[in-house]
Amino acid sequence: MPQDSSKVNINSGGAAQNSYDAIVIGSGISGGWAAKELCEKGLKTLVLERGRDVVHLKDYPTATKNPWDFPHRFEFPEAFKKENPIVGRCYAFDEATQHFFVKDKEQPYIQEKPFDWIRGYQVGGKSLIWARQTQRWSRFDFEGPGRDGFAVEWPIAYDELAPWYSYVEKFAGISGNKDGLETLPDGEFLPPWEMNCVEKEIQQRIMANYKDRYVIQGRCAHLTKPNPIHIEQGRSQCQARSLCYRGCPFGGYFSSNSTTLPWAAKTGNLTLRPNSVAHSIIYDDKQNKAVGVGVVDAETKKSTDYFAKIIFVNAACLNSNLILLNSTSKRFPNGLGNDNGLLGKYVAFHNYRGSISASFDGPQDQYYYGRRPTQAMMPNFRNVYKQETDFLRGYSVHYGAGRGRGAESNEPLGPAFKDSLTEPGGWYVSMMMQGETIPKESNHVRLSKDQEDAWGIPQLITSIDYDENDEKLLKDFLAQGAEMLEKAGCKNIQPNDSKQAPGLDIHEMGGARMGKDPNTSLLDKWNAFHNCKNVFVTDGACMTSVSTQNPSLTFMALTARAANHAVEELKKGSI
């Protein structure tokens, strides 16, 4: 059953012993930023992480292993696959990375509709295993819901977040070009990665044929040329090894473990508690505010309460919704801040179902170097300035080109086959979509009334699905993508619908959305609850809509902005 957060645990050791200025729930991308900002501003900050400790450099056991060092060459035994059908569908999950992913039995949930919930429970969370693609949202992304009426209006505009984008980009290290596009604003960039010869040719042909479609080099959180601030963090240049999901000993990409958490720790204001499962936020009806967080030790199952003046909820979208729904009190019987009954509703995600493969008669005397961590991309060109199609919003496009091995020519086994492995084969092209789904009240999560997890917390029920708009958007991408590749000179074009369930995009957002009106949203423009001003939500749960861009950079910027506001309000005595 939901936890009554007004009942403080009498075995906690007392408020004085377990009190801090701030508590951050979660140590991933947004939680790490909250910790850094709050600690730097002088607040004694407790970070609660439900998973085990992972220390940068020390706890990346497979980072430097060779393929032949793994008993199954990155595969899993059949019994293991049968036990893990959900996480097993994640592209980054294999024998070398499994220790950073939650196995299916470790935290069960109830799928009312198919949903693949991919999780990483450890210090650093999914910042160790994210895809590291980082684009700013444009003004069209923030204006779209208000203009088109498909969701509530965002309470902030691009111009309000732009300085905070710059702030986090400089510290995290983002590579990219200054492209001058209105649909994908420029940022504070390190030198970009470079397209290979075939990608450049496709870029030129697409842009020659379509005046409203701009192909650029992708932007990502990798240190192509570290600045002094990155050297000070103890990080070094990305080696383009494409082993990122094992944890990077170079600190070549941004993660909480290599960057924000060590920075927070050096202030002397950070207390980090791994194996601490936050189950609810404690609300004091007499003080009319939240006063702490209830925690279950992941290993001993002992319950402890921790107290603070401000609380940041950064447990990752669905777990943040779970905690908030489980935080009941006399004031909030249906979950913290949930006067309007919308908590857990309007969950959205990115539509990744569409992909296209093709071949290209590229130059046989050219190849490419390294394992670049990003692809070419095209910002959304559908329904940007006005409604133009029979579906709402649009999609971004990402593509890459490479060469296979000569053995793909069906050479029979023998010396000729062996020799062919040393020669490159033909050029191939792969293209994918990242589509914007529309937040709907029916797409929601809620708590089970009769099933609990190992820590006595109600299991989460996911009820999230595609709709007609998603199908139309997918159909448009497959048609437009194939047309673009044909005009670019590609052959053997093969569109594909993966039909994958929502969740594998790992970009779930919403449930505690921001907005101007307390009747239609949970959070205000500062990411604080409209009716509980000392609790902030700055991970995916706060998002009003999902745009076509990757979300993590926006989480970082919103978190830094909210932390700055929280400290200012704390100093004024307003919270």
What are 130-188's pLDDT values in tens digits?
999 999 999 999 999 999 999 999 999 999 999 999 999 999 999 999 999 999 999 99
Count of the separate structural domains present in the chain? 1
| Of 12-16, 332-336, 434-438, the least confident | 12-16
* pLDDT given for residue 262 in this prediction: 98
Among candidate residues 27, 30, 33, 35, the one with its CA nearest the CA of residue 55: 27
Residue type, 220: C
Widest distance between CA atoms in the chain = 81
Q: Is residue 427 part of a domain?
A: no
The DSSP code sequence of 77-142 is: -HHHHHH-TTGGGSTT-STTTGGGS--TTTS--EESS--------BTTGGGGT---B-----HHHH
CATH assignment of the domain containing 90: 3.50.50.60
Q: Which two structure tokens, joined as six digits, stand for 258?
A: 């290599």
Task: Give, in degrees to the nearest 5, the angle at Cα 511 between 507 and 514.
Answer: 95
Q: Helical H runs in 359-491?
A: 415-420, 468-487
pLDDT class for 405, splitting at 50, 70, 90? confident
Q: Is the pLDDT of residue 377 over 90?
A: yes
Over pLDDT 70: what percentage of the chain?
97
* pLDDT given for residue 421 in this prediction: 79
Average pLDDT of the residues in 520-546: 98
Q: Is residue 508 part of a domain?
A: yes
Residue type, 427: W
Q: Is residue 529 part of a domain?
A: yes
Cα 171 from Cα 553, distance rounded (Å): 12
Q: Which two structure tokens, joined as six digits, stand for 239?
A: 């080696």
Average pLDDT value for the chain: 95
Residue 519, burial from CB neighbour count under 10 angstroms (0-12, 13-18, 19+)? exposed
Q: Is residue 556 part of a domain?
A: yes
Among candidate residues 398, 479, 401, 382, the one with its CA nearest the CA of residue 434: 398
Average pLDDT of the residues in 255-273: 98
Tens of pLDDT, residue by residue over 4-34, are 554 444 344 556 789 999 999 999 999 999 9
Q: Helical H runs in 127-227?
A: 139-148, 158-172, 197-209
Q: Is residue 435 part of a domain?
A: no
Cα 322 from Cα 306, distance rounded (Å): 19
Q: Treating both helix axes as pointing N-terminal to C-terminal, what angle do 158-172 and 139-148 enclose, rounded to 10 degrees?
A: 150
Cα 550 from Cα 290, distance rounded (Å): 32
* pLDDT given for residue 410 in this prediction: 65
- Residue 111, strand partner residues: 462
Domain that holds residue 522: 3-176+257-349+441-462+503-572
Q: Which H/E stretch holds residue 132?
A: none
394 or 364: whose pLDDT is higher? 394
382 or 424: whose pLDDT is higher? 382
Q: Is residue 264 part of a domain?
A: yes
| Of 118-122, 166-170, 405-409, 512-516, the least confident | 405-409
* All residues at 6 or more sequence positions from 52 whose CB lies less than 8 Å from its CB, including other chains: 121, 122, 123, 274, 275
